[in-house]
Amino acid sequence: MAKTEYTMLEAAGRDVRLSSPGKVYFPKPGWTKLDLAEYYLTVGDAALVHLRERPTVMKRFVNGILEEPIWQKRVPAKVPEWLQTTTVAFPSGRTA
């Protein structure tokens, strides 16, 4: 099995592993997953002021913006202990 390429970034004083940094997410300008991560690191402080302590979901474009997205509502089984999570209950009784 081939090992996935990765790079390490620093975010909020923590080392974060970014897999597949060369994966192209935005084909026309040629922007990669690493480009997007670096952009988020640049604007993060300003954006997080408005998102802090609010439940969120991720609209993931696993194969780039030209493919169908998936909505990730649940936290993966393995997350760092410092990551703050919560459970959201829907009127149907389901949770995410």
- Ranking 7-16, 23-32, 71-80 by mean pLDDT, the lowest is 71-80
| pLDDT number for residue 35 | 98
pTM over 0.75: yes
Inter-CA distances, 68 with 4, 31, 34, 65, 71, Å? 23, 18, 21, 8, 10
Q: How many CB atoms lie within 10 A of CB 72?
A: 14
Task: Give 18-29 pLDDT, tens digit per residue.
Answer: 999 999 999 999
Higher pLDDT, 29 or 3: 29
pLDDT digits (tens, 9 = 90+) for 28-71: 999 999 999 999 999 999 999 998 888 778 899 888 888 999 99
> Cα separations (Å) of 95 from 2, 6, 40, 82, 86?
36, 32, 28, 22, 10
pLDDT at 1 over 80: no
Amino acid at 96: A
Residue 94: what are its φ and ψ, rounded to 5°? Answer: -75, 155
**Amino acid 57: pLDDT:** 81
| pLDDT recorded at residue 2 | 64
Is residue 40 within a helix (H) or strand (E), and if so which, with residue range?
helix 33-51
